[in-house]
Amino acid sequence: MRFAAAFLITSRLYSQTITVEAPPRTLPAHVAAKLSPADFELFTKLTQVGLEAAWAAVTQEGYPLCFINELTPLNTDRRMVGRARTVRYLPNRKDLRDKIYSAGPQLNYRSAEEAQPGDVLVFDAGGETHSTISGAMVTTRFLMRGGAGIVVDGCMRDVPDLAAMPASFYLKCGHASSVSPLMMSVDYQVPVRIGGVTVMPGDFLVGERHGVLVIPASIVDKVLEKAIEHDEQEDFQRTLLLQGEPVYGVYPTLNEANKKKFEEFKKRKK
C-alpha cells in the first residue's frame, strides 16, 4: 500500500489559508520600455483589469461577439495586452500569390517590420493546421520592435523557441512546415476573423489562458472605467467570502448591510 498511517494524522494539522487569486501580472519589460507614456498607462490598466469585468463592459457596449476561446496559449502564466495589427491569409493559389508577392514583401515580414511597441499580430489563417504562418526568426524581429504577442487562427513553427520568449502566443497548434505550399498572405490591416470574432486593426486585445477579449479602440476607456469599478466591488466581495460569509447577500449583489460596508471599504482605500 502506498499510503502510511502517519499521513492520516499529520495532514490534519495543515494550515487552512486558501489561495483564490492568480499571482499579480506585469507587462513584459521589452514592451513596457518602449511604450509612450500614454500607452504605458493604458496598457498597465489593461494588464490589471479583470478580464470578466471587461467582457461584461464590452458586451454592454453592444459587442457581444468579443471573446476568442478557440485558440490555445503557449504559456498559461501570463496576460497578453496589445493593439491589433492584422494580416489575412488564404489557401495558396499561384496566380494571386505571384501578383501579391511580386508587389512587396510577404505580409508577415512587413507586419513585423512595421510593428509599433505593444502591437499584437493577428493572423487570420482560416483555421489551417498543416501549414505555419510564421516562426521564431521573424518573431525575433517583431519583439525587437516591441511586439507583445501573436494571435493566429492556424499554426506557427519553432514552438519551443516561441514559448521561451517574453510574449504571448495563441495558436490552434504547431507544425514544422513553412507557409508554402498551403497558404499565402493576401491582405494587410483589414478586418479579419479569429474564432467567432471580427478583429479590426487598432483593436485592443487582452488575453488570459482561457481566451482573448477584443475591445474596439473607441470604447476602451469606457470599458476600463466600468470594469475597474466592478473589480473593486469584487475585491470587497472576495474579502467577505474569505471571512466566511454566505454567497447570498454578497454575490452577485450586495445586500443593504454589505452595501454600507462596501462604502466604508472604498473610503478606507482612498
Footprint of a copy of itself on 18-47 (CB under 8 A): 18-24, 26-27, 29-30, 32-33, 40-41, 44-45, 47
User: Cβ closer to a copy of itself: 91 or 260?
Assistant: 91
User: Cβ closer to a copy of itself: 232 or 261?
Assistant: 232
Rounded to 10 deg, the angle between the 107-114 and 136-144 helix axes is: 20
163 touches a copy of itself by CB under 8 A: yes
* Shortest distance in whole angstroms from residue 129 CB to a copy of itself: 7
Segment 48 to 77, residues that bind a copy of itself, using CB under 8 A: 48-52, 54-56, 59, 62-65, 67, 69, 76
User: Cβ closer to a copy of itself: 94 or 256?
Assistant: 94
160 touches a copy of itself by CB under 8 A: yes
Among 36, 218, 253, 255, binds a copy of itself (CB under 8 A): 218
The three cell numbers locating residue 221:
476607456
User: Cβ closer to a copy of itself: 64 or 260?
Assistant: 64
Segment 224 to 253, residues that bind a copy of itself, using CB under 8 A: 228, 231-232, 234-235, 237-238, 241-242, 244, 246-248, 250-252
User: Cβ closer to a copy of itself: 3 or 257?
Assistant: 3
Q: Which residues pair with 183 in a beta bridge?
A: 91
Among 42, 120, 165, 220, binds a copy of itself (CB under 8 A): 165
Among 86, 139, 185, 258, binds a copy of itself (CB under 8 A): 139
Q: Which residue has 471580427 as its cell numbers?
A: 198
Among 116, 188, 201, 208, binds a copy of itself (CB under 8 A): 208
Cβ neighbourhood burial of 192 (10 Å; 0-12, 13-18, 19+): buried
Amino acid at the residue 220 = V
221 touches a copy of itself by CB under 8 A: no
Calpha distance 243→238 (Å, rounded): 9
Segment 251 to 270, residues that bind a copy of itself, using CB under 8 A: 251-252, 269
User: Cβ closer to a copy of itself: 246 or 257?
Assistant: 246
Q: Which residues pair with 38 in a beta bridge?
A: none
